[in-house]
Amino acid sequence: MEFEEIISFSKTKMNECFKQFVPPALGLLFVFILLRTFEILFVWRHIFFQDIKPEIILSGFLFDLIFFLQMSAVLFILFMIVFFINKKAAQIVFRILGILISFIYLLLILYFSKAALPLGSDLFGYSFAEITHTVGSAGGFNLKYLIAFLVFISLNILIYNRINKLKLPNFVINLFYLFLVISVLGAKYLAPKSREFANTSDYSLAVDKMQFFVSKSYNFFFVGDFEIPMSNYYYDTDNNDTTGFNYVDNNYPFLHVENSPDVLGNYFNIGNKKPNFVFLVTESLGKGYSGEGAYMGSFTPFLDSLAQHSLYWDNFLSCGGRTFAFPPSIFGSLPFAQKGFLELNENMPPHFSIIKLLIKNGYSAKFFYGGDAHFDYMDTFFKKQNAKVIDIKSFGPPYKKMPSSGEGFTWGYGDKELFEKYFEVIDKDTSKHRIDISMTLSMHSPFLILNQNYYRNKVDQIISKLNLGADIIAQDKSYRDMLSTVVYTDDAYRYFFNQYKKRPDYNNTIFIITGDHRMPEIPILNQLDRFHVPLIIFSPMLKRTAVFSSVSSQFDIAPSILAFLNKDYNIQIPSETTFMGSGLDTVRQFRDVHSYPLMRNKNELLDYLYHDYFLSDKNLYRIDENLNLIPSNNQMMQDKIGNLFDEFKQRNDYMLKTKKLIPPQFIF
């Protein structure tokens, strides 16, 4: 065959390939449109319970179209390769891929219907057992889902068979490929950008759920949110860096001089006897629905009352968007590693923690949890602190588990049962000094609690007294089941403190209450909102109360507790630590003097807080006194924070590779 004949044959074959690819591709586009319509009609209303703005709907269809065209470019390459081998095989492969894509897309929509957030690379941060555990909590794979899958797969096959018989004019085929090329070449500019939306909820609605998952997965496997900038690992240990720490040893990149001030001592009557510490970490306790100024109204009347007799931080932040972050952040002010410090499991390097230090000074330590403490390796962490773990395996009769969902799944025991178990255990404890840590569980999907109708009615009573707009009232009513668990947990705290008041050690105990993160199933306002939780420090030892509007986080708790114990109780603390935080800020007006990253999900390190700026997904925002995010074009500040973020990643990467956090002389 002559060269000209080969070229002519190839062109003819390519044209035929073009014509045979476009009809089934358009059939897949029609399935995408059906899936988005299903999402709008059934999922959006089910989650957000509010009028959907027309521009969000249009943005959603536009993002679907753009992603479909970009995906079609990849599918066309596969189609063409198989087509040149066997035409019929190319059609079969495309049909199989179309069904698979539709199936995955529907799964992602159904996940969104449960979590109110698109699924990203956080999927890869959990083990298979943890995933099945979480899916079971949401009701598992039930008959409704199976019907939905069968319907969409049948539609996919039907549409494919019908549209594949169409003979499309050449201008339609050419137009399709023109749009395909534009979508690929302009991918960077056509990608959805969260800062272009009024709030995170609008962005979550509009974004194509499959595009979001593919993009995050690509970054995880090929780019990485932990991408380390190209430079040598070296720090000038002779000078403070812009975070305010004086680092002392390049071989231990987080080790710095510990000089956090004692900001708590002036608020307490200091006695001769060391105080007990009771940490009450609350599942999903967000500031949006707890405390004065909560934008949904407050559904925690007891905690609100307690806060009035406490030290209260109303602009406090969790360090992670999920439970995995709270143990290392609160008790060790530790870096995140790659998937959260807990994910290192048995390979966690030796580290400082207030638990270890208190045990060294004569305290006993216990961790109480109504579920399986092996989830997120919480049990591993607390055992490494030499704390005793009391979890689901320690309960049994007469304690009742939370109601089951789906195929009989339940996370474990509710918060009242947890506190009853707590008192059963500590009533037998003869330790002179204690640090007790409880992690609640009831405010977690599937939001099923004992005597739920009673708490639903309590929600209605609270709503009837709220002086908020009609749209907020309607939204609150939509989340009645979720909010009923908030009221239940608040009631459990009322029980807890009424019982603890009867104990002889009550007057010598300091209670620290916060949330592990905000409830993700109620749509968030912005990326900072997912971390916004209250912090309450209550004690009969307090000689005055205060409300602080300055920003602090879970990273700052350990440095402040240790500075307090060192100055006021003469407990010796290390002169050098690896704490990420510099201590709680007790300035009453709004400000932020801190600098550190926040980790929204496992595998997703995308956010950095620096003073009153917040870098999120490479977008820069100013933070106002209500923790609203205002887009900022301050390129100099963005570069500065980006460099700080890169520096943290370098330190973090070095720690991961060497497992070096503290030198041998500090290990105890």
User: What are the tens digits of pLDDT across the range 486-498?
Assistant: 999 999 999 999 9
Half-sphere exposure of 362 (CA within 13 A, CB side): 11
Distance CA 276, CA 507 (A): 10
Cα–Cα distance list, 115 to 106, 478, 582 (Å): 14, 15, 33
Phi-psi region of 377 (alpha: psi -120 to 50; beta: other; left: phi over 0): left
Task: Tell me which amino acid residue 128 is.
Answer: F
Let me know: does 607 contact 527? Beta carbons within 8 Å: yes
Identify the pLDDT of residue 47: 63
DSSP symbol at 583: -
Closest CA to 660 of 350, 240, 220: 350
Distance CA 211, CA 209 (A): 6
> CATH 3.40.720.10: does it fit domain 274-589?
yes
Helix, strand or coil for residue 185? helix
List the structure tokens of 425.
């255990």
For the chain, give every residue range classified as CATH 3.40.720.10: 274-589
Let me know: does 549 contact 314? Beta carbons within 8 Å: yes
| Cis, peptide link before residue 631, omega less than 30° from 0 | no
Identify the pLDDT of residue 633: 93
Distance CA 296, CA 474 (A): 10
Closest CA to 367 of 309, 422, 287: 422
Distance CA 336, CA 436 (A): 24
- Please state the separation of Cα 531 from the chain's center in Å: 8
pLDDT digits (tens, 9 = 90+) for 249-260: 889 999 999 999
Q: For strands 532-538 and 256-257, give the pairing.
A: unpaired
Distance CA 135, CA 130 (A): 9
Helix, strand or coil for residue 438? strand
Q: For strands 276-282 and 509-515, give the pairing.
A: parallel
Q: How many other CB atoms are found less than 10 A from the CB of residue 469?
A: 9
Distance CA 80, CA 66 (A): 21
- The mean predicted confidence, pLDDT, of the chain is 86
**What values do phi and psi take at 56, rounded to 5?**
-70, -40
Identify the pLDDT of residue 193: 79
DSSP symbol at 107: H
Identify the pLDDT of residue 19: 82
pLDDT digits (tens, 9 = 90+) for 369-424: 999 999 899 999 999 999 999 999 999 899 999 998 766 678 899 999 999 999 99
Q: For strands 311-317 and 552-553, give the pairing.
A: parallel
Residues of the chain with confidence (pLDDT) below 70: 1-12, 45-52, 122, 125-146, 148-149, 152, 156, 160-161, 163-166, 198, 222-243, 406-408, 668
Within 138-295, residue ranges assigned H as helices are 143-163, 170-185, 187-190, 200-206, 209-218
